[in-house]
Amino acid sequence: MIETNNTAGAWSQAISPKNDPWDPIVSLRKYGRHVLTSVELTVTNLCNMRCEHCAVGDSLVLKEPEQLPLPLILKRLDEVEHLQTISITGGEPTFRRQTVEEKIIPLLKYAKARGVRSQINSNLTLSYDRYEPLLPFLDVMHISFNYTSERDFHEVGFARSGHPVPAEAAYKLYDTMIENTRKLSEAGMFISAESMINYRTHEKLPQIHRMIVEMGCRRHEVHPMYAADFAEGLPVLSLAEMRQAIHTLLDERDPSIWMLFGTLPFFACSEGEADIALLRRLRKEPNVTVRNDPDGRNRVNVNMFTGDVYVTDFAAIPAFGNVNEGRLDDIFAKWQTEHPLNQTVNCHCDAAGCCGPNLLVADMYYKNIDFKTRQAITL
């Protein structure tokens, strides 16, 4: 292994509602400016599913080229001075066993040795032995869970397959996912199940939540769905419907499990009373956190095939650098200081614990608002 920039110590504190190293507000408060603390690595564009909401759907392929050499990626990670977290994403990262053995495990070992936290975004539908080897190294296994039955899973998970997928085949994958989630949770894996708030789920989130609790997940993440890639043509919820969905979920949730909300379209500078009431409630609820959006704040995405560096894993915003050409800290600094898009949402109201909207959120709901001229009210 190459010599590391040792930041050991991050490991001493368990990931919890009080310690979420993915939240950009943590490093913003620590360094007084946004710094790169999080790198997301796209290790594959292969996937056995084609979900209707997939945020990287347009990038999925059936065959993929060679990756850049791993030592180059590790070198680029090692140069990131304040690295705190890595996230491994796809496609389905474990789609090929070879990727697990030759890329994912070395990346996780690197992270662990350096005291950096790790996450994998997976659908957990493949065989258990694909995931078991990750147990000693991985901090967070992140899955999507938007279903109340195998029928939902069949409908949602294969909507963009381009050919009919037999129900029985989908049901089998659904059962495997549930079984894997249970078994890995029992074996000690921290599984964080994410549900989207969208036109399908907004009235059944409490039921989805109960299933997540029953599977033994340690955290339920809840994010609104935004119109990117495959989700572009799907119906969009109004802000009122979204607020209502969150209130109902908070009314009915099991408060013993951590609930993390992210990419919310509600801000403490809002003039709407309903927004402020919701934010106040979210603050007060035990075991509930609201994560600021990492995209472009403290995180970049690296495509391990091309080396291109993006602000998000879905490529609506073109790459703004490449790992073949330089250090990630330098590429990130350029985005921070020069990119016109960043200048529109790069606000910060510390008392509200807020560092501005996600780029897609601003574009979808707040097109003509200049957040840099706004100020949070006291929550």
Is residue 25 a contact residue for ligand SF4 (CB under 6 A)?
no
Tokens, residue 99 = 């990727």
Judged by CB under 6 A, the stretch of 45-53, 238-246, 279-287, 369-377 that binds ligand SF4 is 369-377
Q: Is 297 in the site for ligand SF4 (CB under 6 A)?
A: no
Contact region for ligand SF4 (CB under 6 A) — 24-32, 54-62, 150-158, 346-354? 346-354
DSSP state of 162: S
Output Rg (C-alpha) for the chain, integer angstroms. Answer: 20
| Amino acid found at 194 | E
Tell me the window of 93-101, 174-182, 232-240, 370-378 that interacts with ligand SF4 (CB under 6 A).
370-378
Shortest distance (Å) from residue 361 CB to ligand SF4: 10
Residue 356 in the binding site for ligand SF4 (CB under 6 A)? yes
Among 357, 358, 359, 360, binds ligand SF4 (CB under 6 A): 357
Using the rule CB under 6 A, is 374 a contact of ligand SF4? yes
Please state, in angstroms and rounded to a whole number, the distance separating the CA atoms of residues 269 and 379: 10
Answer whether 202's CB lies under 8 Å from 237's CB. Answer: yes
Does position 354 interact with ligand SF4 (CB under 6 A)? The reply is: yes
Structure tokens at 374: 């706004």
105 or 274, CB closer to ligand SF4? 274
The C-alpha atoms of residue 20 and residue 33 are separated, in whole angstroms, by 18
Total residues in contact with ligand SF4, by rule CB under 6 A? 15
* By the rule CB under 6 A, 215 interacts with ligand SF4: no
Rounded Cα distance between 218 and 365, Å, is 31
How many Cα atoms are found within 13 Å in the side-chain-facing hemisphere of 144?
25
> Among 126, 156, 311, 347, which residue sits at the site for ligand SF4 (rule: CB under 6 A)?
347
Of the pair 32, 164, the CB lying nearest ligand SF4 is at 32
- Binding-residue pattern over the window 237 to 276 for ligand SF4, x denoting contact by CB under 6 A: ------------------------------xxx-------
Q: What is the number of residues in the chain?
A: 379
The torsion defined by the Cα of 184, 155, 100 and 211, in degrees rounded to 10, comes to: -10
Question: Which one of 349, 359, 360, 361 is in contact with ligand SF4 (CB under 6 A)?
Answer: 349
CB of 133 to ligand SF4, least distance (A): 41
Contacting residues for 89 by C-beta, under 8 A, at least 6 apart: 40, 41, 42, 43, 56, 120, 121, 301, 313
Here the tokens at position 217 are 């997940």
Binding site for ligand SF4 (CB under 6 A): 267-269, 347-349, 352, 354-357, 371, 374-376
